[in-house]
Structure 1
Amino acid sequence: MSKHIIKFAITAALLFANIVNAQQYPMLDAAAGRVVQKYQQSSCEQLWQERAAKKGLAPSPGEQKVIQAMRSDPEMRAEFINRVAAPVVNKMFECGMIP
């Protein structure tokens, strides 16, 4: 019985933490969602073409704002990386962009 209560308490705490994080960084939610969606919906050919076209180009003002926010807030940066790392790296691996 006590094991079930402990499991329930841990689950509730993790759920609450995720909700708090989602509300804490609304800008991060939008940016991470766009990045994940882009990689999930793009073909490998599209990603390779975009990669070649963007070499040497500066980020857009919106991207610069998000990047600066993540540089100044390590918790936000960690949350962003946790959200986008797996989908992006998996797609890059599938496309031969990383070994």
Structure 2
Amino acid sequence: ILFQTQGAELNSEHSITAFARAASYLGGNCKVLGTFASQGKINPAMLERRKNADKNDPHAATPRNLERWQKASMHPNEEDFSRAKEFVKAMQRKIALREKYLNMKK
């Protein structure tokens, strides 16, 4: 089960790629049963570097990025924690069902 928090938007290419990259490090015999993402705060030192980045840099302080950074600064929040709790419950059910199925095959 993979968890992540990051300043990127949850359905962004960056977020999806981060999950794929993390899963690739687990090895071929590992099965990913679920993933959970929450937007999170961005490291202030990183934001300072990005504020001074060249305007052609995709991470530069464009109006769109400034808006995303502002939204990210408010996460994780209570709604994110609630979603995380529900995800954990769902994964517990999934693991129990998987174990039941694997025991039936024995």
TM range (shorter): under 0.3
Which structure dedicates a bigger proportion of its chain to helix? 1
Point out which structure has higher relative CO (alpha carbons under 8 A, 6+ apart). Answer: 1
TM-score, length-normalised on structure 1?
0.27
Which structure dedicates a bigger proportion of its chain to strand? 2
TM-score, length-normalised on structure 2?
0.26
